[in-house]
Each structure stands twice: as C-alpha cells, then as structure tokens.
Amino acid sequence: MNIVPKEKPIISNLNTYYIDIAKLIEHCQGEAGAGGIFFASPSAQAVIFFDQEEILNGYFRDKEEELTGDTAVSRLIESGANYNFTVNIYAISIGEVYFWSSLPSAERIYKDLSTEFTDLDGLIKKMSAEKLTGFIDVSIANGSEGGLVFLSNGEIVGGSFTWAQDQPAGTKANIDQLIEKTKTSAGLFQVSRIPVNNGANESVITADTGGQSPRALTMVEEIMGIFETLFTTKKFKNTDLNSLIKKKFIEKAERFAFLDPFAAEFEYKNRKVLYSGNAEDKELLIGIVTSLKELAADLDIIDEFRTYLIPWHSKYENQLKTLDIAI
C-alpha cells in the first residue's frame, strides 16, 4: 500500500530517467532531514522513507512482485530507471516519519465509507475505542481536499492535510477542520490497520523459562537505536548520550542487576547490544523500557519518544502482550 502525504511535495516531477536514486536519497537526507520519496509510473509504484541517519523502510510493487524493506530499496535502486518513474519528494516531521515508515504494511479494513451514512467524528471515536493502530484516509469533494488521521492503540498521534502546508495548525485543529469539511461536502473514508508482525521467531519470546531469546535481544537493540535517533535529532548541548544512559542504568541497577555498569553484562555501542547476562526476556525488556522512558521524561521528550515507538510497538505487539509490558 502506497499512501502519499496530503501536503504539497517540496520537490516534484523528477524522473528516474536522469537521476541517480542512491545519490538522491543521500541528498534528501542532508537537505530535508526526514521524509519520503515517492515513485510512480503506469506499471509500478514505490516509496522510500528516511531520516538523517538511515533509510527507515522501502516499498516496491509492479505487476509481478511486491517488496518491502531493504529488498524493496535495492530493487528500486537497481532497476528504477527501467520504469521511467515520476518522483515526488515530501518533507515529513521527524516525529511522524517513523509512523509513515510502517504504512506500507497497512491493510484495508473498511473501504469507501460515505459521508452519507458515516460521520467522521463518530468513526474516529469508534476506531479509538477499538484501539486501532493505523489510519483513516479522508477524501473530500472528489479528492480536491482531504486528510489522514493517524492512530496508535486508539490514540490520535498525527495526521496529514491538504491545507496544512499553507495554513499550519496543530493536529487537533486540523482534524476539527477536517470533520467540519466532511459535514458540508461529500466524502469517502478508508480505514486501514497496521498489522502486528507475526513472524516465525515470535514463539521464542519467553515469560519465565529462564534466559533471554535472540528475539528479545533484537527488540532491545531496536528500541535503544530508536532512542538514540530521537536524542540525536534534539541536538542537546553539552549532553553525552552514553553518560546519560550509564547514569540511568546505575539508578535502576538495584532493581535490574544486569544494568549495573560495573557488572559489565549489558553494553550498547554503535547501535549494537552486547549482553552476557542471563536475565529472562521479561526482566530484560522491562529494565530497558523502564530506563528509556524515565530518561525520555527527564529530557522532556517522552511524548516524542512514544511517537517514535509506534512502528516498534506495532511490530512486536504480540510479544509485548505475552510479557505484559506496557509502553
């Protein structure tokens, strides 16, 4: 699924016939910081989401295959010129690009709900009550205006609106405006859910069998990397991330012994986790999640951290439920 931002692109109508896609990605990372590069042709479509540090996700679909992740990015770079893609580039806020990067996996659950029978305000409340992680795509007046409403576990976490670039406002104000527009103009709503990752490795998560699984270590490594990315974007002056993490771990070491820096069981370096202890999955994850949430609160970035965690939480929702871990 290829969902395009409602705002105007910052660069439009490029063509893969004369651009180097790999160099374009590097340029966008330096100039835009975070965003999406959207590719469209009569025979295929693709998108790459990025922040300043890395490519977050990719999506590629033609008549023969549908790819996501690194495979999609490689396919696009290798053969993009063959499709004569038109390219549009959108700036996406650093707080929302991580949510956008999870959208290619979304699945439609309600299609073509009409304003004749459905009230948008009521639909948002219904999806909130159902704890939807996904989005509502709103098209007004045959597509001349519209918006996207993003929800994570039923909570509104952002959106995209056709008028937002020219009339900047907060998410709530834009959603209120979107609701009012649907009352005066005919519109259609599409509702999509970001599915939980049900990969083959899911069963290796353990609640109390002793020892940690590779899956749990992967989850820990990813959430540490997410926090580092957020910290880097904030550009805190005279503040060293490693020192902050070490200090927080010392505070939590009495409850989570593996966090004691002097025991040297847990190390995070160059976005990799090195762990030699024997804590169970639940203890390992709760210790890291608790420490990072407290550190985010100390730095006054807890709301942004929760937004950054949306794709991670969606990806590992079943595992987190199994271990009874709340984000």
pLDDT single digits (tens) 83-142: 999 999 999 987 788 889 888 888 999 999 999 888 999 999 999 999 888 999 999 988
- Say how far apart CA 209 and CA 290 lie, in whole Å: 22
Q: Is residue 75 part of a domain?
A: yes
C-beta separation of 143 from 188 below 8 A: no
Same-domain pairing of 145 and 234: no
The domain boundary residue, chosen from 94, 128, 157: 94
Same-domain pairing of 210 and 309: yes
Decide which of 148 and 212 is more confident: 148
Q: Is 81 left (phi over 0), alpha (psi -120 to 50) or beta?
A: alpha
Same-domain pairing of 71 and 116: no
Same-domain pairing of 20 and 90: yes
CA 176, 177, 180: angle at the middle one, nearest 5? Answer: 90
Same-domain pairing of 228 and 306: yes
Counted domains in the chain: 3
Q: What does the pLDDT read at residue 99?
A: 86
Q: Is 324 left (phi over 0), alpha (psi -120 to 50) or beta?
A: left
Q: What percent of the chain has pLDDT over 70?
A: 93
Of the given ranges (179-183, 270-274, 313-317), which has the lowest mean pLDDT? 313-317
C-beta separation of 61 from 67 below 8 A: yes
Same-domain pairing of 126 and 78: no
Q: Is residue 57 part of a domain?
A: yes
pLDDT single digits (tens) 229-277: 888 888 787 788 888 999 999 999 999 999 987 778 898 888 888 888 8
Q: Which residue has the tokens 């922040």?
A: 51
The domain boundary residue, chosen from 159, 193, 227: 193
- Closest Cα partner for 166 from 175, 154, 158, 174? 174
Same-domain pairing of 187 and 210: no
Same-domain pairing of 266 and 241: yes
Same-domain pairing of 75 and 141: no
Q: Is residue 85 part of a domain?
A: yes
The domain boundary residue, chosen from 62, 94, 126: 94
How many other CB atoms sit within 10 Å of the CB of residue 293? Answer: 17
Q: What does the pLDDT read at residue 145?
A: 93
Q: Is residue 170 part of a domain?
A: yes
- Say how far apart CA 323 and CA 266 lie, in whole Å: 20
Q: Is residue 183 part of a domain?
A: yes
Range of the domain at 72: 11-94
**DSSP codes joined into one string, 136-178:** EEEEETTTTEEEEEEEETTEEEEEEETTTTTS---HHHHHHHH
Q: Is residue 6 part of a domain?
A: no
Same-domain pairing of 213 and 188: no
Q: What does the pLDDT read at residue 168?
A: 57
The token duo for 105 is: 């996996």
- Closest Cα partner for 100 from 108, 91, 109? 91
- Say how far apart CA 249 and CA 261 lie, in whole Å: 7
The CA–CA distances, whole Å, from 34 to 11, 206, 306, 311, 313 equal: 14, 36, 18, 16, 21
Decide which of 148 and 210 is more confident: 148
End-to-end CA distance of the chain: 27
Q: Mean pLDDT throughout 36-56?
A: 92
Same-domain pairing of 210 and 300: yes
Q: Is residue 251 part of a domain?
A: yes
Q: Is residue 144 part of a domain?
A: yes
Same-domain pairing of 87 and 125: no
